[in-house]
């Protein structure tokens, strides 16, 4: 969900993940931070999650979006390339399609 109330509810639950070392929970916490506009604070959580879950394209996508928000285009592009590689050509999830589109836009 993208509405403010849902984001606030997610934040209320996810704050307890701040000290977690579980990659999936790091991703959840970091993604919520990013969605709240706190991409710099989200970065170590998303990087940890991406390292711990190297074959999850959505975790890699989340890190790419944080890099993009932090104006790190080369790092973002590298992450989006990982997303596409991991997901494969048949994956039609919204995030994977967006990653493909972002890659194509930089190559044209």
pLDDT-derived band of residue 2, with 50, 70 and 90 as boundaries?
low
> Taking Cα atoms as reference points, which of 26, 91, 92, 22 lies closest to residue 62?
26
> Range of 56's domain?
4-107
Compute the average pLDDT of residues 52-56.
Answer: 98
Q: What is the pLDDT of residues 57-107, one digit of tens each?
A: 999 999 999 999 999 999 999 999 999 999 999 999 999 999 999 999 998
Kindly report the CATH number assigned to the domain that includes residue 14: 1.25.40.10
pLDDT-derived band of residue 13, with 50, 70 and 90 as boundaries?
low
What is the count of structural domains for the chain?
1
**Does 33 or 12 have the greater pLDDT score?**
33
Q: Which pLDDT does position 5 carry in this prediction?
A: 75
Residues 6+ apart with CB under 8 A from 72: none
Q: What is the pLDDT of residues 24-41, one digit of tens each?
A: 999 999 998 999 899 999
Query: What's the rounded Cα separation, in Å, for the pair 2 and 4?
Result: 7
Q: Which pair of tokens denotes residue 61?
A: 């996508």
Q: State yes or no: pLDDT of 9 exceeds 80.
A: no
């Amino acid at each position: 969900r993208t509405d403010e109330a849902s984001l606030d509810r997610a934040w209320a639950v996810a704050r307890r993940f701040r000290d977690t070392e579980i990659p999936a929970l790091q991703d959840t916490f970091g993604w919520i931070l990013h969605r709240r506009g706190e991409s710099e604070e989200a970065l170590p959580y998303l990087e940890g999650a991406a390292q711990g879950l190297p074959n999850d394209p959505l975790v890699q996508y989340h890190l790419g979006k944080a890099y993009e928000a932090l104006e790190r285009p080369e790092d973002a592009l590298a992450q989006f390339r990982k997303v596409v590689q991991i997901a494969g050509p048949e994956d039609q999830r919204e995030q994977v399609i967006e990653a493909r589109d972002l890659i194509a836009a930089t190559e044209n």
